[in-house]
Amino acid sequence: MLRVGINGYGTIGKRVADAVRAQPDMEVVGVAKTRPNFEAERAVAKDYPLYAAIEDRVELFDDAGIELAGMVEELVEESDVIVDACPSGVGEQNSELYAEHDTPALYQGGESAEFVDTSFNARSNFADAVDADHVRVVSCNTTGLSRLIAPLGEEYGVEKVRATLVRRGGDPAQSSRGPINDILPDPVTLPSHHGPDVQTIFPDLAIDTLGLKVPATLMHMHSVNVTLEAEPDAAAVRDLLADESRLFVIPERFDIDGAGALKEYAQDAGRPRGDIWENCVWGESVTTEGSDLYLFQAIHQESDVVPENVDAIRAVANAADAAESVATTDDALGMGI
Ligand code: NAD
């Protein structure tokens, strides 16, 4: 069993912990938190050993009557792999701690790509992370684009990607974020930084991205144009995408008209927290005009990176190859809705 520790138990960390626990070849050693909030309460209720991330805050846990298993240093020492899911920038600061204990570490998409050995997407570059010490699982948007580009590139060749990312203003619990009633070009300069982030996975890819932020919390929406090196018909592209386990091609008969209905569907399907780990591509939107492909896809920002973290754990531990790992992860989570 691979022993996995999770440092930073927020939106991403708590989902990764549950996904790791669901795997047949992994166990959660514990999770580290900075304060005894509701998420700490739930971690204890789920029997995750809780470690304090900051020495000065131990008293707060004592006052709240929450028993600690130890300090984060002990968690790092006891783990075969650590998943850092701290806020952007904190992961890089933590990287020294992981290096001191010789514990391979995964970081999230908010971290810089500069200090890690490789950025990671299971479908696209699993092998680059094998035996690596510091691996960054790319952001929700970059994960969503990479999963789409990989099969298109293999099947047809990709000349150029142009994508407009209509991004949610914040996650549902992030009440301080916005906009509340506006539509923001964000960043206003073009192209946006998202394209270069995709190039951390596909270094030679020609890609331009534009970003906006809107008053929504449920999902991101991508409007994608890929110029291919072939001229397939739309049905062939739809079949290609539908064959990918982490791409959900929404059938027309489902009558799903947006992110709200998608989330409702995920909840009806019994998904934990209403999570949607797959890219959601509208089948009717898949259109070709010569070598140009167009489509819309929705990305559940809080959860699409979760199966990727699980695969990255196996990669750094050299515990499986890409196909084995993805199949195991998908099966354990119940991928496919
Ligand atoms: P979050 O704020 O929900 O969770 C971060 C957690 O880390 C919080 O519980 C916080 O208290 C804790 N924390 C803060 N400092 C810490 C420290 N020094 N040690 C241990 N824990 C500490 O953030 P999140 O949304 O889960 O984001 C985490 C990372 O994942 C970021 O890099 C982010 O860019 C990336 N990410 C977020 C999303 C998303 O939509 N939320 C999607 C993909 C990637």
Burial 151-161 (b: 16+ CB within 10 A, else e): bbbebbebeeb
Contact between 192 and 211 under an 8 Å Cβ cutoff? The reply is: yes
The pLDDT score that the predictor gives to residue 337 is: 79
Burial 23-59 (b: 16+ CB within 10 A, else e): beebebbbbbbbebeebbeebbeeebbbbbbeeeeee
Over residues 241-259, the mean pLDDT reads: 97
CA torsion, ordered 323, 324, 330, 332, to nearest 10 deg: 180
The pLDDT score that the predictor gives to residue 336 is: 86
Contact between 83 and 6 under an 8 Å Cβ cutoff? The reply is: yes
Q: Which amino acid is at 86?
A: C
Exposed, middle or buried, 79 (CB in 10 Å: 0-12/13-18/19+)? buried
Q: Which amino acid is at 90?
A: V
Where does the pLDDT of residue 152 fall: very low under 50, low under 70, confident under 90, or very high at 90 and above?
very high
The pLDDT score that the predictor gives to residue 160 is: 98
* For the CA of 12, the nearest atom of ligand 1: 26
pLDDT at 300 over 90: yes
The pLDDT score that the predictor gives to residue 217 is: 98
Where does the pLDDT of residue 142 fall: very low under 50, low under 70, confident under 90, or very high at 90 and above?
very high
Over residues 196-219, the mean pLDDT reads: 98
pLDDT at 1 over 90: yes
Where does the pLDDT of residue 267 fall: very low under 50, low under 70, confident under 90, or very high at 90 and above?
very high
The pLDDT score that the predictor gives to residue 235 is: 98
Q: Is the CB of 125 under 6 A from ligand 1?
A: no
How many whole angstroms from 240 Cα to the centroid of ligand 1? 34
Average per-residue pLDDT in the chain?
97
Atom 12 of ligand 1 has which residue's CA nearest to it?
8
Q: Is the CB of 299 under 6 A from ligand 1?
A: no
Q: Which helix (H) or strand (E) holds 294?
A: strand 292-299
